[in-house]
C-alpha cells in the first residue's frame, strides 16, 4: 500500500505515528514542504540521529516533535524491524526545551527496551509554536484573541 494510504489507515485506526530516521534528517529536501507533508500524514514525532538545522525548525513550526538519540545509539544499533511499537514517555507533565524523553520499544515477542531521547525543541518560542500545533495556529490564535483594554482611573 502507498505511504499515504497507510498513513490514512493508521489515522482512521487511531494509531499515532512516529518516524525513525538517520543522520541529517531533512537534508536536501524542500524543507518547508517536507515538514508540511509530515504533518499532513499525521506523523506526530520524528526521532532522528540528527537533523538538518532548518528542517528541524520547520518540523516544530508544523507541530511535529523532533527528537534525537543519545550518544552512539542509532536506528541501526537498535535493530528495529518495523514490527515494534514505539511509546514516548515523559511528555505528560509538559514539554520543556531540550528535555529528556524516554522511548519505550516493545518488540513483537513482548520484550521492551527503554532508550533516552533528547527533545529538540530548543527555545521557548519554539515550545509555544509546538504547543499550539505549529506556527500558523499560534499566529492565528494570537490574532483572534480580543485586545485587552484598560480604563484609566479618574
* Residue 84, all three cell numbers: 515494534
Q: What's the confidence (pLDDT) of residue 148?
A: 52
Taking CA 69 as the corner, what is the angle to CA 65 and CA 72, rounded to the nearest 5 degrees?
Answer: 165
Are 80 and 97 contacting, i.e. CB atoms less than 8 angstroms apart?
no
Higher pLDDT, 89 or 93: 89
Judged against a pLDDT cut of 60, whether residue 12 lies above it is answered with yes
Q: What's the confidence (pLDDT) of residue 154?
A: 46
Are 65 and 45 contacting, i.e. CB atoms less than 8 angstroms apart?
yes
Task: Name the DSSP class of 20.
Answer: E
State mean pLDDT over 121-127: 97
Judged against a pLDDT cut of 60, whether residue 18 lies above it is answered with yes
State mean pLDDT over 109-130: 97
Please spell the DSSP secondary structure of 59-125, one letter per residue: HHHTTPEEEEE-TT--TTTTT--S--EEEEES-TT---TT-EEEEEEE-TTS-EEEEEEEE---SHH
Tracing cell 531540550 back to the chain, one arrives at: 98
Q: What's the confidence (pLDDT) of residue 31?
A: 60
**Total number of residues shown for the chain:** 154
Q: What's the confidence (pLDDT) of residue 34?
A: 82
Q: What's the confidence (pLDDT) of residue 147?
A: 56
Distance in angstroms (rounded) separating the CA atoms of residues 37 and 2? 14
**Upper half-sphere CA count for residue 73 (Cβ side, 13 Å):** 17
Q: What's the confidence (pLDDT) of residue 104?
A: 98
Question: What is the percent of the chain where pLDDT is above 70?
Answer: 92
Amino acid at each position: 500500500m502507498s505511504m499515504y494510504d497507510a498513513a490514512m489507515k493508521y489515522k482512521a485506526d487511531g494509531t499515532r505515528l512516529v518516524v525513525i530516521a538517520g543522520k541529517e534528517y531533512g537534508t536536501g529536501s524542500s524543507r518547508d514542504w517536507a515538514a508540511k507533508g509530515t504533518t499532513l500524514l499525521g506523523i506526530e514525532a520524528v526521532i532522528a540521529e540528527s537533523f538538518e538545522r532548518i528542517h528541524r525548525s520547520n518540523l516544530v513550526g508544523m507541530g511535529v516533535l523532533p527528537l534525537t538519540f543519545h550518544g552512539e545509539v542509532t536506528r541501526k544499533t537498535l535493530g528495529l524491524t518495523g514490527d515494534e511499537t514505539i511509546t514516548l514517555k515523559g511528555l505528560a507533565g509538559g514539554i520543556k526545551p531540550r528535555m529528556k524523553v524516554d522511548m519505550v520499544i516493545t518488540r513483537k515477542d513482548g520484550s521492551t527496551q527503554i532508550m533516552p531521547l533528547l527533545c529538540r525543541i530548543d527555545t521557548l518560542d519554539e515550545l509555544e509554536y509546538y504547543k499550539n500545533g505549529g506556527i500558523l495556529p499560534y499566529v492565528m490564535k494570537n490574532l483572534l484573541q480580543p485586545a485587552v483594554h484598560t480604563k484609566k482611573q479618574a
